[in-house]
A and B are shown apart, each in its own frame.
Chain A
Amino acid sequence: MLKFIGRRAAFAAMTILIVSAVVFMIFSFLPFDPASLTCGQRCTDQIVEANRVRLGFDKPIYEQYWLFLSGIFAGRTYGAGSAAFTCPAPSFGYSFNENACVTDMIREALPITISLAIGALIMWLIVGIGLGIIAAKFKNRWPDTSSSVFVLLATSLPTFVTGLALLIWVTIKWKLVPLSLSGYTSLIDNPFKFMQYFILPWITLAIAYAAIYTRFTRAALLETLGEDYIRTARAKGVGERVVFFKHTLRAVLAPLITLAGLDFAGLIGGAIITETIFNLPGLGRLTLRSVYEFDLAVVLATTILAAVVVIVMNLIVDMLYAVLDPRVRIV
């Protein structure tokens, strides 16, 4: 097992390195001059050239990449003398637009996105799997029909519609949740405020995903119920409830976890629409803003981060799969 993890981790590290190199290359071949982008309204050639040197854009691309990589481990100082600006390790670059280290910007945005993703994940897993189980158990009866109505509605409504609807009704009309103006509070500091802050974004995201999970769980359960080994369990005299909740559900678990892991990874990359609607300063919003403002250092960092999360989640899912499914050979 350890050997398996080690090998896979090394493989993941390689993939991340390649991905980062490719992303870096793409960004340096973009048809803009990165140095002139760093320059504000009163721009002179002099400032552009100074910034170019300061940010290292004057160096050849492989050297830039090397500086970027070494910055992650050793930190990086931009410019020299009194104008020098140091981003300590791990440094993912320097945003000239915000005049801040990219790492700090991500550090601020990440907890929000993670809180958003984890809360939504828990919610949609409970709702989606729960509804899926109910739908499968009462196949073709009213609970199944109602759940399929939910699935249909939730998959056809885009998140900006459900999100805005929630915001308008729950917050503005019914005033059940206050419009949060105070900003993000961490779970530890004030759990109540934390919940208030996130409850609507969670519901917005969870509705969309829960529909997919309801459908997936139902289909997987019904398929498994038709398997020969389920018939074997019945032939042993095992009761219907045990057949369903032990034998059948167990077989559905592994694919469900795969799906959840990958969806979760996708969300960490940024739930751009939800974050925008609810004004959450998470990674999605950060990326969006950087794209608008051509803040290339930030876009580069968030893109690589998204890739890293997907790769790492893949690794975790594979490991979980190996634990859950004895047929998966660990070599």
Chain B
Amino acid sequence: MTELLRIEDLHVSFKTDDGMVRAVDGVSLTLNAGETVAIVGESGSGKTVTSLSVMGLHKKGQAEISGSISLSDHGTFKDVVHLSDDEIRDIRGRAVAMIFQDPMSSLHPYYKIGSQLAEGYLVHNRGKKKEAMARALEMLDLVGIPEPAKRAQEFPHQFSGGMRQRVMIAMALMNSPQILIADEPTTALDVTVQAQILALLSKLKKEFNMGILLITHDLGVVAQVADRVNVMYAGRIVEEGPVDDIFYSPLAPYTLGLLKSVPRVSKNNERLKAIPGQPPSLINLPVGCPFAPRCEYKQHSSEAGCNTTRPALLGTSSTHRSRCHVPEKLRHELFAKELKEVQG
């Protein structure tokens, strides 16, 4: 397995009028070639901030970043956190590319599709205009846009939502990046179009042996495309592991809570098991486990430390780790029973 990305102890905070927002608080994760790693979490969990850090897209002076993001530029590792602006720009769109949630607003309304695609190539291959256009048409064809030569001359508003997300994907592929970051790539799309885009991403991943970092809140999408999963809550990874472990033997109470609260198509009209309460403010995080105020398993914690200390990311298995003060064995038993009830 070729490692493409290694994030270690990433911290990102933003200054606001109300105080420091600790958006990402010690995140570590890896991404290998040919695999899809998902970051799952709700709004404010820090998943998008993490992905923008990999692209070096935070504004200077607004975000305070520490830790390291070691990224493979076709074999050579570079630490995005400590690169100069020009060095990051050189990596963006070439070694790592990104697609965004809203394909409607992510394309420039005034430029033709073809030239927007070609621009991404020209930035990294100065002066090769003809090559860039040819490449643009090739990529449009690859992502399943019929009549690429004609469509390249059109403007974004002439494309449907699904087609625009295809264009975004084509744009991301212009320089054959090894890493693709997909930030909620299907959230703004209808379910039948989502199915098309997910199928396309899977196909491209295999074809180019890319590593995909998928940011999403949708557990169904995760189950369909992810190999490994990181669950984020309040700026931290609360559980990481292979997709099956996360879905069938979750160890973090928050992961279990998420799995219980999704309405399931195959399930009858039972009452949903919602997680009570709301996510904490990132400005005033509780001293103990950030999930403690919403957690139903506090009483099982032998140390009773939930309200005083933050749990570490630990696990008996090297691939499946979670943050919780409740003994892992006890969680296994408790959670398996509960999960059985909802999964049937």
Contact = CB atoms under 8 A, between A and B. Distances in A.
Interface of A: 227-229, 231-240, 247, 250-251, 324-327
B108 A237 contact: no
A224 to B, nearest CB: 10
Contacts of B120: 236-238
Given A231-B57, A236-B120, A237-B94, 11 more contacts: A227-B105, A229-B105, A232-B168, A235-B92, A235-B93, A236-B119, A236-B123, A237-B92, A239-B123, A324-B110, A327-B157
Contacts of B94: 237
Given A227-B105, A232-B100, A236-B120, A326 B110 contact: yes
A232 B98 CA distance: 8
Contacts, number: 73
Contact of A238 (B91, B105, B119, B155): B119
B288 interface: no
Nearest to A231: B57
Interface in B88-142: 89-94, 97-98, 100, 102, 105-111, 119-120, 123-124
Nearest to A230: B108
Given A236-B93, A237-B92, A237-B93, A325 B110 contact: yes
A245 to B, nearest CB: 14
11 contacts: A228-B100, A228-B102, A232-B107, A232-B108, A233-B108, A234-B55, A234-B57, A236-B119, A237-B123, A238-B120, A327-B109
Contact of A229 (B98, B106, B157): B106
B185 to A, nearest CB: 13
Contacts of B157: 326-327
A247 B115 CA distance: 12
Given A227-B105, A231-B57, A237 B110 contact: no
Nearest to A240: B85
Contacts of A327: 109, 155, 157
A236 B92 contact: yes
B interface bracket (residues with beta carbon within 8 Å of A): 20 to 34
B92 A234 contact: yes
Interface of B: 55, 57, 85, 89-94, 97-98, 100, 102, 105-111, 119-120, 123-124, 155, 157, 168, 171, 174
A236 B171 CA distance: 8
Given A326-B155, A327-B109, A235 B98 contact: yes
A237 B102 contact: no
Given A235-B92, A235-B97, A240-B85, A229 B109 contact: yes
B106 A228 contact: yes
Contacts of A235: 55, 57, 92-93, 97-98, 100
Main secondary structure of the interface of A (DSSP, over half): helix
B100 A231 contact: yes
A237 B119 CA distance: 9
Given A227-B105, A251-B110, A237 B124 contact: yes
B78 to A, nearest CB: 14
A229 B91 contact: no
Contacts of B106: 228-229, 231-232
Contact of B105 (A228, A234, A236): A228
Nearest to A238: B123
Contact of A247 (B89, B98, B108, B171): B108
Contacts of B100: 228, 231-232, 235
Nearest to B100: A228
A139 to B, nearest CB: 10
Given A227-B105, A327-B157, A250 B110 contact: yes
A237 B90 contact: yes
A326 B109 contact: yes
A227 B102 CA distance: 11
A250 B120 CA distance: 18
Nearest to A328: B157
Contacts of B105: 227-229
Nearest to A234: B57
A237 B57 contact: no
Contacts of B89: 237-239
Nearest to B157: A327
Contacts of A247: 108
